Structure 1
Amino acid sequence: MLLAHIRQNDFAEQSVQTHIEEVAFLARQYGEFTNLGAHSELAGFLHDMGKFTQHFTTYLKKAVIEKNVAKKKIDHSTAGAKYLYNNYYGKDNLQNYVVETIGMAILSHHSGLQNFLQLDLKPSDYLRRVTNEELPYYDEVVKNFESIEGNTEKVRHLIEEAINEFRGFMGKIQPLQKPNVYLNLMQKLVFSCLIDADRTNTRCFEENEEYPISDNESVFDKGYKHLMETVADWQQGDVTPINKLRNEMSEKCDQFASESSAIYTLTIPTGGGKTFASLRYALKHAQIHYKSRIIYVVPYTTILEQNADAVRDIIKQPDAVLEHHANVIDDDSLDEEADYYQIKHHKKLQLGRDNWDYPIVFTTMVQFLDAFYQKGTRKSRRLHNLTNAVIVFDEVQSVPFQHYPLFNTAVNFLNTVGNSSILLCTATQPAVDKMETSIMLKENAEMVPNLNKVVDAFKRVSIHNKVDPEGWGAETVAEFVEKIMQESNSVLIILNTKTAVRKLYELLAEQETAHVVHLSTSMCPAHRKEQLEEIKGKLGKEKVICISTQLIEAGVDISFESVVRSLAGLDSIAQAAGRCNRNGELETGDVYIVRAKDEHLSKLPEIRIGGEVTLNYILSDPQYADNLLSPEAIKMYFTHFQAQANREILKTPKGLDNELISLLDGSFASKKRPQTKSTGMFKTVERYFEAISSPTTAVLVPFREGKNIITSLNEDIQDYTLFNQLMKKAQQYSVNLYEYELQALDSENLIESLYNDSIYCLNDKAYNEQFGVTLEGQAELETYNF
C-alpha cells in the first residue's frame, strides 16, 4: 500500500488513495456554495497524486518510524497539475481555463500560489512546472494512479462538470467591471477550498478525530430568539427617546432581512446601536437564506473585543463566537514546508486553527484583506469561509485608501460569486459606489430611510471649532482641558499619535482634581479593557479625564460630558462625537476641535489629508457651521478627501511600477503575450501586498494572566486543545509592535523568544502599568496573585 501519512503516536497508516478521496470529499463541500464543487473536488483528488510512489512511502516510514527525515524535499505537488495539463490542455478555451485553475491550486498547495505571468516575461511558474519533462518518478506516479479502478473515469467526469461550472461563473462576472480580476479571485477560492480540506484531513488523521460538524443553523435560531427577548424587555421598560430611536433602527434591519443576498449600506449615526441592529439583520437573514456563518470585519481590536462580548451576551452562546485579532505565533514558515513530517510539532498544531469555521466570527480589516491578497497558504485557507456568509463591515470608511480597489473588488466577488450578503456599516458612509473601481450597490441599498431626519433626531452635541493655525502645544491643550473640567465632570481627549497622547497624559496626571487615564495600542487588549471598565465605573461618580489615541473612537460604548478632538477627518470627528453625551444624559454635550502641535503626521497621510479637507472645505464653509455631521457635509467631505488622496497617496507599492490591481485585472497582461489563458500574478501581488504600510509583529506581554501564558508556553506542549486555548487567550495579552520597536527592545534585552523561537514575549521591565509597552525598560508592574 502506498502511503500519504503515518500517525506519529501509534504508526497508523493512511493510504494515498484514502487521503485524496477524503480531501476531495471535503473540498467538494467547501466549493458547493459557490458552484465550484467539481473544481474543488478535482483539485483535492489530484493534489497528492505525486505520493503514488514507493519512494515516498519509504521516505515516510523512515521519517516517522526511524525519525530519519530526509533533508532533500520531495516534490509531490506538481504531478497532479502536470497530469491534467498533459491529458486535458489544448482542447478548447473553457477546458484550458479549468485545467489552469485546478492545476495552479494543486502545484501551489504547499508553497502558496504561483504566477501565470511573470513581470520579466520569463516562463511562468505554472508553465515551467507542468511542462517539466524530468519530473522525478512521474511515470510511476501515473501508472500507480491509473491502475486503481475508477480514478481516470473520475477525473474525466469532474473535468466535464467543471467546464459547466466555469461557464456559469463566466456568466456571473460578465456584467462586472474588469472581469479578469474575478477570475483571479475565483482561482484563489478553489485554492482555499483545497488547502483547508487538505489541512483539515491531515490534522484529523494525525489527531485521530472525526471531521468537525457545525450546527450553525441552531446557533442563529437560538441567537435570534434571545435577541428578540431583549427587544421585548426594552419595549416593556422605561424607554428613553434615544433607545426608542435605536429600536426603530433595529426594526428596519429586521424588515430588511428577508431581502435577497446583495450589498447594502447601514448608515446609523454614532450611538445609534449599529451592533445590535446589524446582528438582528444578520441572524434573521442567515436563517431565511441558509447562510453558513456571520462575519464581522472591524478596523480596530477595541471594537472587536467589545462587540464580540456584546454579541455573546445577546445570543447567550459564548462558544459560538470566535475573536480573531492577529497571529501571536510566528508560523509563516509553515507555508514553505515540503511535507508534514518536516514541520515542528508546534507548527503542526497550527494546521487545525484559524480557518474561521465558527458560526460567528469577529476579525479585523487587516485579516480580511490578508485572506485575499497576503502570501502563503495559512491566510488563504480562510477565504472559502467568507462565502455563503453574512458579512458586516463595521466602520467601512476605515479601509486603507490605497487598498480600496482591492477591497471593493473582494466585496463584489463575495456577493456575486461567493453568494454572501454584505452590509457596509458606518455613520459616515464613503462613496464606494462612485470610485473608479466601485462596489456594485443594489438599487435602494440603504437600510435606513429618511437619513437626514434620523441624524437630526440623534443630535446630542454641539461642535466647536477651536483650531489654531499654529497649533497648540501639550501645555496649551492641558490648560484648555483644565478649563473644561471647571464646568464638566468628564472629558475625553483624542489625539492622533501615541507620542502626543503620552506627553499630554504626563502633564495632566500631575493634577489631583480628577482621575486621569491613558489609552493606546501600546497596551494589550486585556489592559485596555480593564482601563475602560475602570473609567465606566467612575463616570458620573467622580471627575474623569481620559487621553486616548483614536482606538476609542469607534465601537466603544462609553459616554463623556465633553470631548476634545485633535484635527482629523470628518469621519473621525463624527466618531469622537459619538463618545460625547452618548445616551442623551445632558441636553447637549460639547465637542471641541483643536490642532495639536506635537503630532507628526508625515507617515500618516490619511489622517493629515483628512484634517486638511475638514479644515479647508467643512469647517470653513458657513452652510455646515451648525450641522457638521449632516449627510451633505459628510458627502462633501468624502468627495474632496478622495480627490486629494488620489493625488497624494501613492498607490504603487515600494519597488513596483504598477498598482496591484493592474496585476489582476488583465491590464498588465494586455501589454504582453501570455502563454496561458489565465494571467494572474498571485505570487507577485502577495509579495508586494501589505494591508498596512508598516507591518507589525504580535508580542506577548506580562500583564496579569499574560504572565501565566508566557510561563506555560515555555514548556513543550503536546496537547492540541490546550495549545489552541492558550493561543486564544494570548490574543488578549499581546501588542503589535513595529520593526523599530522590536529592535529597540532587543538592543536593551527586553524581548525574548519562546516555544521553539516561534513566539515573542516581553519581560516585566518592558511593560508599564500606565502606558503598556515602554522601550526604556523602566516599567514597574504590580504583583497579582492568580
Structure 2
Amino acid sequence: MFIAHIRGSDYMQQSVQTHLDGVALLARRYGDPINLGAHCELSGLLHDLGKYTLAFTSYIKNAVLFHRVANQKIDHSTAGAKYLYDKYYDKNDSIQDFVVETVGMAILSHHSGLQNFVQTDLSKSDYIRRVTNANLPYYEEAVHNFESVEGNVERVDKLMNEAKEEFIAFLKNIKEANIKEPIVYLSYLQKLVFSCLIDADRTDTRCFEEGEVSTGSADNSDIFKKGYHHLMMQINNWKGDDHPITKLRNEMSDSCGSVADEPSSIYTLSIPTGGGKTFASLRYALKHAIRYKKERIIYIVPYTTILEQNAKAVRNIINNQNAVLEHHANVIDDTSLEEEPDFYQKEYHKQLQLGRDNWDYPIIFTTMAQFLDAFFQKGTRKSRRLHHLMNSVIIFDEVQSVPYKHFSLFNTAVNFLHFVGNSSILLCTATQPAVKYMEYEINLKEDAEIVPNLRKTVNAFKRVSIINKVESGGWGMDKLASFAEEIMTENDSLLIILNTKAEVRELYKLLKALKIAKVYHLSTSMCPAHRTEKLDEIREKLGKERIICVSTQLIEAGVDISFETVIRSLAGLDSIAQAAGRCNRNGKQKLGKVYIINSSEENLSNLPEIRIGGEVTRNYILNNPEFNGNYLGPDAMNTYFRYFDSQAKREIKQTPKKLNYKLIQLINGTHPNARSAETKSKGMFKTLEEHFEAIESPTTSIVVPYGKGKEIIASLNQDYHDVKEFNKVAKEAQQFSVNIYDYELQKLSQANLIVPLYNDSIYCLTEKAYDQDFGVTVEGDASLPQYNF
C-alpha cells in the first residue's frame, strides 16, 4: 500500500488513494455551491499524486515509525500539476488551458501558498518552471501507479470536461455583471480553488489523525430558523412602543425584512447611529439565509470592541451561545510553518497546523483585517478560510473603515463574493463611502439602498448639535482638561475621543488628578476582556455617578453607549458622525452637544487617513455655509467623501514599500511583464501577498495576564496531545490578547517583559507590562503586582 499518512497515536496508515478520494470529496462539497465543484474535485484528486511512490512510502515510514528523517525532502506537490499540464495543456483550447492552470496552480501551491504565473524579474514563472520540470524524481512512477487504479484516468478526463463548462459559465457570469477588468476575478477564482483544496486537505488529514469522518460543511438551516423565530418575538414586542425613535427603528427593520425576500444582491444599509442596525441587519441575514439556503452569516467589523459587543448581542437575540464564533486575531504565531508539509513537523507543530479554525461556523464575527487577509495574506493559514465567505450572507459593519489604499482590492473582492461566490452583501454604516467615485467601484444597483427616504430618516434621527471649536494653533491637553471641567459643571457624563493613544493616556492622567468625576481610559492597548469589563462598568454607572471616558476612536463605531456630551478631536466627517452616535443615543435630551476641537499635540504623521479626513472636514464641511450646521446629512457626507477621495488619491501612497506598482496591477494584467507571459493566466498573487499588509504596520498578538488570562497563560504552557482541547484554549486566549507593533515587541523583549510559550509559537506578557488602567505598557511600570510564571 502506498501511504499518505501514518497516525502518530496508533500508527494506523492512510493510503494515498484513500486520502486523494477523501480530499476530492470534501473539495467537491466546498466548490459545488459556487459552481466550481469539478475544479475543486480535480484539484483534490491530483494534489498528492506525487506520494504514489515507493520512495515516499519508505520516507514516511522512516519519519513516523523510526524517527529517521532523510536530509532531502521529496517534492510531492508538483506531480499532479505536471500531470495535468502534460496531458491536457493545448495552445489551441484557451478554456482548457485556463482550467489546467487554475487547478494546477492550486495543486503545486498547496503547501507553500500561491505562486506566480508571471515574475517581476522576467525569469521563468513559478508555474511553468514547476510543470515543465523534466527531472522531477519519481514522476513517471507516481503517474503509473495513479493511472493503475481503476477509474482514475476516466475520472480525471470527465472532471476536466466538466470544469471547462464551469469556466465558461464563470466568463459568462462576469460578462453579464458588466465588471471592469475581468482578469482580476480570474485571479480571485484561482485563489478560491486553492482555498477549497487546502481546507479539504487539512480537514481530511485532521479527521484521519483524530479518527473522525468529515461530511463537509454543516447544515445550519435549523439554527437560522430558530434564531429568526427568537428575533421576531423580540421585534414584535416593540410594536406597541410609540416612541418616535422606536417607530423609526421598526420601519427600518421591516424594510430589511422585505428586502430579505429578494434574490441575492449587494445592498447598502445606511441606518443612522442608534437606528437598531444590529437587529435590522440580522433580520435580513437570517431570513435571507433561510430562504436562499446560505451556508453561514458573517459580520466583518473594523474594531474588536464592536465584534465583542455585537457577537454577544447576536448570541442573546438568537438564544444560542454556541452558534457564534468570534475571530479577533491569531494568537498562534505559526507563519514559519507555511511551507512545511505536516509530517515533517514535530508534534506541537502538527497540532498548530491541523488545529487552526477555518470559519466553519453558522455565524462568524471577525475584523476587516482578517477579512482582507483571507483574500490577500500570503501562505495557506488564512487562505484556507476564503471559501467559507462564499454562498453566505456577509455584513460589512462600518464599511467606511476599509484602509483607503486597499479600496481597489476590497471593492473587487466584494464584487467577486457576490457575482462569483453567490454571497449576499450588506454594506452597513451610517456613513456610506462614495464607492461610485472610486477607480474600481462596487457594482451597486440603482435601488441598492434599503432605507427608504434616507434624508428624511437622517433628519428624524437628529439628536445632537455639532459645535465647531476648531481654532488656529489648536488645543493643548491642559486647555482641553479645563474645558472638560467646565462642561462637567452642567453635565454628569462626558466622552472625549482623541486620535492617538499617547494623547488619551496624557489627558486621562490630567482629568484623574482634577477629581471632578470618575475617569475611565479605553484604548486598543487593553485586551478585549478588559475593555468589555470597563464598558460594562461605565454603562452601569452612567446616570448614577459623574463619568468621564477618554478613548481612542475604538469606542465610536457600533458601541452601544450614550453620554450627555461628546468632545471629538478633529477627524473625518464619518468619524465625527460615529462619535455623535455615542451622544444622546436614545433621545433623552432634546439635543446633545458634540464639540469638535483640534489638538495641538497629536502626531498624525503615521495616520494619513485621519489627517486628510480632518483637513477635508475643516475645509469643506465645517466652514461651508451651504450645510448650515447640518453636517451629518447625506449631502454633507457625499461632499466629504468626494473631496476625501480626491485628496487621498494624491497623498496616500498606493504602492507598497520595495514595489513600484499598485497591488491590483499584479492581478489585473497591467504589469509590464504580463505582456510576455508564457501562460494564459497573468496573476502574480505570490508577489501581491508578499507586499500586502491589511494594516500599515504588522502586529503580533500577545496573551496578557489580565483576569483569566493568567490561567490561560499557565494552560498554554502545557504540552497538549488533544488538538481540540488546544484549539479551544487558543480561541479563548483571543479575549485576553493584545496586538502590538513590532517596535513595541522589540522594547518589551529587550526589557524581558515577554515570555515565549508553546515552543516559541505563542507569546505572553509578564504582569509588569500590563497595567490595570492602560493595558500594555512597554515601560514595565504596570500597577498590578508581578506574576511569576
Please give the TM-score of this superposition, normalised by the length of structure 2. 0.98
Counterpart code for 2:83: Y
Aligned to 2:429: 426
Task: Name the residue aligned to 1:61.
Answer: 61
- Structure-2 residue corresponding to 1:106: 107
The C-alpha deviation readout for 1:665-690, integer Å capped at 9, x for no partner, is 11115763111001110110000111
Q: Which residue identity does 2:125 align to in structure 1? A: S
Q: 1:245 aligned to 2:248?
A: yes
Displacement after TM superposition at 1:461 (Å): 0.6
Question: Is residue 2:610 matched to residue 1:610?
Answer: no
Q: Which residue of 2 aligns with 1:267?
A: 270
Matching residue of 1:168: 169
For 1:303, the equivalent position in structure 2 comes to 306
Structure 2 residue matching 1:480: 3-state secondary structure: helix
Q: 1:521 aligns with which of 524, 529, 533?
A: 524
Q: Secondary structure at the match of 2:488?
A: helix
What residue number does 1:145 align with? 146
Q: Kindly report structure 1 stretches of 4+ aligned residues shifted beyond 3 Å.
A: none
Residues 381-400 of structure 1 mapped to structure 2, 5 A cutoff: 381-400=384-403
- Equivalent residue letter for 2:563: F
Give 1:291 deviation, angstroms.
0.4
- The residue correspondences of 1:299-338 to structure 2 (distance < 5 A) are 299-338=302-341
Per-residue CA deviation, residues 672-726 of structure 1 (Å, 9 max, x unaligned), is: 3111001110110000111111111000100000000001111111122221111
Number of the residue aligned with 1:483: 486
Q: How does 1:693-712 map to 2 (within 5 A)?
A: 693-712=696-715
Report the AA paired with residue 221 of structure 1.
Answer: K
In 2, Cα distance between the equivalents of 1:350 and 1:591? 49
> Counterpart in 2 of 1:509?
512
CA distance in 2, matches of 1:190, 1:655: 29
Match of 2:559 among 556, 560, 574: 556
TM-aligned CA deviation for residue 347 of structure 1: 4.1
How far has the Cα of 1:477 moved from its partner? 0.3
The match for 2:78 is: 78
Match of 1:759 in 2: 762
Larger mean CA deviation between 87-96 and 1-10 belongs to 87-96
Q: Structure 1: how far apart are the matches of 2:12 and 2:496? A: 62
Whether contact under 8 Å (2:34, 2:421) holds in the other structure is yes
- Following superposition, the deviation at residue 68 of structure 1 comes to 2.0
Partner of 1:217: 221
SS in 1 for 2:739: strand
Q: Are the aligned partners of 1:504 and 1:547 in contact in 2 as well (CA < 8 Å)?
A: yes
* Aligned equivalent of 2:441: 438
Task: Give a deviation string over 1:147-169, Cα, whole Å, max 9, x none.
Answer: 11111111111111111111111
Instruction: Mark the runs of 5 or more structure 1 residues left unpaired by the alignment.
Output: none
Partners in 2 of 1:629 and 1:716 — Cα distance? Answer: 55
1:339 to partner: Cα distance? 3.9
Alpha-carbon distance in structure 2 between the residues aligned to 1:714 and 1:239? 56
Alpha-carbon distance, 1:8 to partner: 0.7
Distance 1:128 1:17 in 2: 27
2:753 matched residue in structure 1? 750
Contact 1:200/1:352 (CA < 8 Å) preserved in 2? no
Secondary structure (helix, strand or coil) at the match of 1:50 reads helix
Q: Which residue of 2 aligns with 1:567?
A: 570
Give the root-mean-square deviation of aligned CA atoms.
1.2
Paired residue total: 783
What is the correspondence of 1:30-69 to structure 2 with a 5 Å cutoff?
Answer: 30-69=30-69
2:235 counterpart of 1:231: yes
Identity %: 65
Q: Which moved more, 1:524-533 or 1:343-352?
A: 343-352
- How far is the alpha carbon of 1:99 from its aligned partner? 0.5
- Residue 343 of structure 1, CA deviation: 4.6
Answer yes or no: is the 8 Å Cα contact 1:619–1:625 preserved in 2. no
Aligned-partner SS, 2:756 = strand
Query: Hey, what's the Cα distance between the residues in 2 that align with 1:671 and 1:750?
Result: 48
Structure 2 CA distance, aligned partners of 1:451 and 1:783?
Answer: 54
Offset of residue 625 of structure 1:
3.0
Contact 2:434 2:638 (C-alpha < 8 Å) held by counterparts? yes
- CA–CA distance in 2 between the matches of 1:571 and 1:526? 27
2:569/2:597 contact within 8 Å kept: yes
* Shift of residue 273, structure 1, vs aligned partner: 1.2
Report the Cα distance in structure 2 between the residues aligned to 1:159 and 1:64, rounded to whole angstroms. 36
Q: Residue 766 of structure 1 aligns to which amino acid in structure 2? A: A
Is the partner of 1:336 in helix, strand or coil? coil
Aligned partner letter, 2:28: R
Counterpart check, 1:715 vs 2:718? yes
* Counterpart AA for 1:576: A
CA distance in 1, matches of 2:309, 2:637: 26
Q: Which amino acid aligns with 2:81?
A: A
1:400 and 1:332 mapped to 2: Cα distance?
24
By how many angstroms is 1:239 displaced?
4.4
Is this contact kept in 1: 2:768–2:786, CA < 8 A? Answer: no
Which piece of structure 1 moves more, 328-337 or 405-414?
328-337
Aligned to 1:119: 120
Say if 1:663 and 1:669, in contact at 8 Å, map to a contact too. no
Write the mapping of 1:346-745 to structure 2, written as runs, cut at 5 A: 346-668=349-671, 672-745=675-748
- Distance in 1 between the 2:693 and 2:138 partners? 39
Note the residue ranges of structure 2 that are not aligned, 5 or more in a row: none
TM-aligned CA distance change 1:300 to 1:340, over 3 Å:
same
Which whole-Å CA distance do the structure 2 matches of 1:654 and 1:593 have between them? 35
